[in-house]
Amino acid sequence: MRLGGKTALVTGATSNIGRAIAEAFAAEGAHVVVSGRSKERGTEVVAGIRARGGRADFVRADLDGSAAASRALALDATRVLGGRVDVLVNNAGIYPADTTAATDEETFDRVYAINVKAPFFLTAAVAPAMVDAGGGTIVNLGSWIARLGIPIGALYSSTKGAVETLTRAWAAEFGPQGVRVNAISPGVVLTPGPREIHPAEAMMKGTPAGHVGTPEAIANAAVYLASDESSFVHGTVLDVDGGRTTAAVIAS
């Protein structure tokens, strides 16, 4: 119960990494707001958490990058959680795997709106309230391809680079006021499915892990960063990527 008595808002929590984080937080004792666009999937996640004895509520939000949408989610989540948000996880995002030449201006603006503007204004709405309440923690989701270039997804990579930069800036801005801000940089992560070789498996060849990660592996890191166990950790980007960005295994 490392998060016992705490409240948490997890964006993009209706599937994949966000869902795993919401479930892990609830299992550790937090009252969690599961946020996303799909009421059907959100209700399913909440039902599963409650069936296991956890506390969770669904708050629908379409984080389109507008300040109004982010502020509305902050208000709704704060109300549902009884007046405060102790932990914010900025997870929601989209990933168009296009080349640079194939990316149009509309897509560019939409990806930056969802991946950068939305968490920026959500943090702007939540962090000051955390300060007033005596403290809190914010966990952002970066990506391994923000630092190790691959030939597709340049637009997405740049947004995650922005999020990791914001993590350090927010740590300097809010840390002295009692709000810790850190980020997780996931590697290649897949939800377990049928025993088939996924094309993404190739990206993990030559790494210490040698295989793709699971959403639960990222969730474990999020629990650590949200809990008091990481009380001396500020402004870091925690690589949870099987060694993809730090080590190369040379086959003999």
Q: Tell the burial category of 244 from Cβ atoms under 10 Å away from its Cβ (0-12, 13-18, 19+).
A: buried
Q: How far apart are CA 187 and CA 201, in angstroms?
A: 11
Which residue type, as a one-letter code, is found at position 16? N
Buried residues in 18-57 as b, exposed as e (16+ CB within 10 A)? bbbbbbbbbbbebbbbbbbeeeebbebbbebbeeeebebb
- Local structure of 198: helix, strand or coil: coil
Q: How far apart are CA 56 and CA 134, in angstroms?
A: 23
- The single residue listed with the structure tokens 């959500």 is 122
Catalytic residue among 95, 112, 156, 224: 156
Asked whether 93 and 12 are in contact (CB, 8 A), the reply is: yes
Q: Please count the other Cβ atoms lying within 10 Å of the Cβ belonging to residue 128.
A: 13
Q: Is 156 a catalytic residue?
A: yes
Looking at the annotation, which residues are catalytic? Answer: 156
